[in-house]
Amino acid sequence: MVLSDLKEGAVIEMKKQHACGGTQWKILRTGADRTLRCLTCGRVLVLLPDELLKRARRLTEEPS
């Protein structure tokens, strides 16, 4: 996976589960950092691009 694949609206699967048990996250905003929302509980997380690439397992849904 490359950083250009991670655009707004994309859904990604993380390697580790969130505390709520979910692994699916939707990218809300891109820029100097990436804002993500857990699709299970709604928690918002802000990660730097290199940290996101390290934690992400795969891109599950392309942005429309």
- Tell how many helices (H) and how many strands (E) occur in the chain: 1, 5
> With the C-alpha atoms ordered 42, 44, 52, 54, is the resulting torsion angle positive or negative?
negative
Give the pLDDT of residue 62: 82
β-strand 11-14 against 24-29: which pairing, if any?
Answer: antiparallel
**pLDDT higher than 80, residue 64:** no
**pLDDT higher than 90, residue 5:** no
Q: What is the pTM of this model?
A: 0.89
Give the pLDDT of residue 4: 76
For residue range 21-62, what is the model confidence (pLDDT) as tens digits?
A: 999 999 999 999 999 999 999 999 999 999 999 999 999 988
Domain span at 8: 3-61
Tally of domains within the chain: 1
β-strand 56-61 against 44-47: which pairing, if any?
Answer: unpaired
Tell me the CATH number at 25.
Answer: 2.30.30
